[in-house]
Amino acid sequence: MDSGFGTIHSVTQLELENFGSAFASADEAEGGDHIPTAVEIRESEMAARLALKDRMQTDDLPSWSDMYHRLLQAGWRWRVAAYAAWASTPKDGRWPRTQNELATQVLGLTSDRVIATWNKKFPTLQQVIADLSADDLMDARADVFHTLKTMAKTPDYKNVKYTQIYLEMIGAYVPTSKLAAELKRRGITSDDLADMSDEELRVLAGAAMKRKEDSEVSDVPDVEGGEE
């Protein structure tokens, strides 16, 4: 199935913990003309964190609350966790509506300048957010597979495509394009096929499927921390 998209994988808890360690040096203090004291920073941080904690205990939970708690459990700094969880949710219906509102209304900052600094200092942060955004797709796997199986076994010509996808996924069907590519790679002509046994054809089809699977495997990038 050539979809043109890379392989999507769930972000594991270990990966989240590694990313959390990488972002541990994120400077949450604000810049600007006024340089806050350590006490002011701590007071502002505590007030914002308590306000967010209170919000999480109400019935009006933000859509990113589950992801936020998951990142906290992985050892993320709370502000970075809140931003990443917020940014990984769909814009439609997102609270707060903008990044600046998140910074000022939730994170206890005066602007979103610190968030811009995180993204500059830790380039992998946006990739992590993109991976977290795909988690909803992975959560729906069981439902999608059930629907695919139901459609594939329903005797209706309209469902031929579902049957093809299902058989290809379980390795029982090789698309003609993949088989043709394997034949070309091996220098096998249509005349050669006529002289092949069923077992040889099965081996050939299996090789084509294996090559297809290998070509679809995406390497997971190594986690690198930002500059100290």
Q: Six-digit token pair at 151?
A: 């459609």
DSSP letter at 34? S
Q: Pick the residue with more confidence: 170 or 119?
A: 119
Q: Pick the residue with more confidence: 84 or 140?
A: 84
Per-residue model confidence as pLDDT tens digits over 64-77:
888 988 998 999 98
Mean pLDDT of the region 28-42? 50
Helix axes 13-22, 124-133, angle to 10 degrees: 150
pLDDT above 80 (res 185): no
* pTM for this predicted structure: 0.57
pLDDT above 70 (res 222): no
pLDDT above 90 (res 88): yes
pLDDT above 80 (res 87): yes
Dihedrals φ, ψ of 134, to 5°?
-80, -5
Q: Six-digit token pair at 86?
A: 């917020």
Domain spans of the chain, in order of start: 13-138, 140-216
Rounded (10°) CA dihedral 95, 17, 143, 2: 100
Give the pLDDT band of residue 113 (cuts 50, 70, 90).
very high
Burial code (b: 16+ CB inside 10 Å, e: under 16) for 188-220 equals: eeeeeeeeeeeeeeeebbebbbeebeeeeeeee
Cα 21 from Cα 45, distance rounded (Å): 20
Say what the pLDDT of residue 228 is. 37
Say what the pLDDT of residue 203 is. 75
Q: Six-digit token pair at 94?
A: 């997102």
Name the one residue in this structure whose structure tokens are 């949710």.
Answer: 89
